[in-house]
Each structure stands twice: as structure tokens, then as C-alpha cells.
Amino acid sequence: MLSLLEELMLLILDDEDGSFAPVPEYSLDFATAGAVLMDLAFENRIDTDLDKLFIVNPAPVGNSLLDPTLVLINQHAGEEGIKFWIRKVSANASELKDLALKRLVSRGILKEVDKRFFWLLQERRYPVIDDRLEREVKLRIMGVLFDDGIPDVRDIAIISLAYACGVFGNLLSARELKNAVPRIQQLRRMDLIGRGISGAIRDIEATITLSMRGMM
């Protein structure tokens, strides 16, 4: 299964020229931090309350994108809130994004040519999750946005991240985005993953949005 950060990288990748969508750097940095924290929540390693982010299970996940952040949080367990951690982890966003891309290349999903990244034609399939048909990440997310079915919980997370940092403005026309917003809002309100993790995701998403406003 791909991490949320790996999916985010694929979501902003231009299939034609190997470049990335022009999302503001600070926006993508906050979303990178949010993706790592969300995945740690999905792995039942962290949770949040009204004031603090805290460790639920300090055991390593076994994922090079997640474990260094888990160690970092464990050093300050229960001392700081989600806003602090969004900013703290975003300081390492460049390294995390590079690592995510390297992992995608090593798995044969992308190839790197002159510092640009392209899908490998023979690997343009998204790993099977929950027995669903294999689809590329963009097609899968677009399918969720323009369908009224119940999505996978990780799709809710990646859509929340992408919406918080403005990625859909590069993927959809103004009219398509306007039509998709009610569905996005519906997805963000869904509570399919348990009160703790869904609360953590809402906290992370809200903090990304607030942090971005503070940078403007």
C-alpha cells in the first residue's frame, strides 16, 4: 500500500511533462507534514485531543517515511499540539518529498529523467486496496469526487489533504471544482474510521488551512 505522501506526490504529478503542479511550496510542505501525521494516525501510533498530540504506540511502523517523525514526536510526547507538529514536521518536508519520490522510483511506479518524473507505462496501475479494481491514483480520486458511493477511508484523507492545500485547483477546471466542492465537503464530514483517527485528520486538515492563511 502506498503512503499518503506517495499518493500526494502522484496526485500533483503532471503525466505529460514529468513536472509537478504549481502548488505554493509552503502549502505543499504543510500538506507533506499532514500526510505523515495522518498515516501515523492510521497506523494507531498517534492521536489528538483538544490541546495535545500524543503517542498511542511508540513501536516503529517499519516505514522510512513515518518512523523518524514518530521518534521525534516520542521525544516530546504530550507536550505540544497539532499546529506545532504540522510546522515542526514541515521543516523536513523537502527530505520527506524526496524520499517519497525515491520510494516510488524503487517500486517501479515512476522513472526519473533529468530531474523529472514519469509513470512507467508498464506500471501504470494502482495497488489493489480492499479488493477494488486497480486504478491510477488520479483516476481513483476523480472517481470518488464525481461518484456518490462510500469511499475508502484513505481516499477521504488524501482528498482532505489535497483540498486543504489547493491541489484540486490544478487538476480541475473552475467549473469542475465548483461542482466537486459539495462532494468534497460531504467526504470531509464522513466519520468512517473511528472517532480518534477522524478527529486527528480533522485537526490536521484545519491546522494546514490555518497555517497557510498565516503565511499569506
Amino acid 120: pLDDT: 55
Q: Is residue 42 packed enough to be buried (19+ CB in 10 Å), middle (13-18) or exposed (0-12)?
A: buried
Alpha carbon 183 to its chain centroid, in Å, reads 18
Q: Find the mean pLDDT for residues 15-29.
A: 78
Residues 103-137 have pLDDT tens digits of 988 887 787 776 666 655 443 333 333 323 335 78
CATH numbers and ranges of domains, the chain = 4-212 (1.10.3630.10)
Q: Is residue 183 packed enough to be buried (19+ CB in 10 Å), middle (13-18) or exposed (0-12)?
A: middle
- Tell whether the model's pLDDT for residue 203 goes beyond 70: no
- C-alpha cell of residue 85: 507538529
pLDDT bucket at 70, cuts 50 / 70 / 90? very high
pLDDT bucket at 28, cuts 50 / 70 / 90? confident
Amino acid 214: pLDDT: 59
- Residue of 185 and 216 predicted with greater confidence: 185
- What distance in Å separates the CA atoms of residue 154 and residue 26, rounded to the nearest whole number? 23
